[in-house]
Amino acid sequence: MTEPTSLDPDWHRYSPHPFPSYRYLPGQTPHPRRHPLGHSHGRSEPTPRLFPPDQWQTSDDYRYGIDLYNFAYWWESHEIFEAFWYAAGRDSEQGNFFQALIQLAAANLKCAMCNKAAAQRLTRAGITRLERVASPYMGVDVSLLLQGLQGYLSATHPHLPLIRLQDEENVSGGGTQP
């Protein structure tokens, strides 16, 4: 399998973890866990270890979830973010952040399935959650990500923004529009 590309061909990876053999699209590809030909059939559900929000760099699972999102593995990223959401607690700030990421991954999946109304509804729900989070949070410039999401809703940008994590070369972090 060739390495998948992001909407931005210059986008880099945050984790060395390999991508699944295909992106799951409901009704178009085998369900990853339930179908015998699924890329994760027979494997256990992801159980990433929770980490303090200010130590996001230590979590390869979190960085891998961001990679999956940025490289259009939206169902797969949703799975990782959902496991973190359960671990963090639905009512915690970190849980709220993970639920926003879940909603954005689902919005992208709905876009790919040509359901723009559902994508916009999920994007708005994600925005509402992200507005409750300080910026930056867990390596993401939330303010910049929110700008990109608003740009998508106002049709200024054709796609939901990718998620950029802070690193040595990119201390401002954030989301960006390809």
Residue appearing with tokens 């999920």: 122
Q: What are the extents of the domains in the chain? A: 58-176
Q: What is the pLDDT of residue 1?
A: 33
- CA gap 83, 124 in Å, rounded: 22
Q: Answer yes or no: CATH 3.40.50.10860 is held by domain 58-176.
A: no
**pLDDT per 10-residue tile (average), the chain, 178 residues:** 58 90 81 73 81 95 95 93 94 96 95 91 97 95 95 85 75 40
140: three-class secondary structure by DSSP: strand
Asked if residue 114 lies in contact with residue 95, where contact means CB atoms within 8 angstroms, the answer is no
Q: What is the pLDDT of residue 7?
A: 66
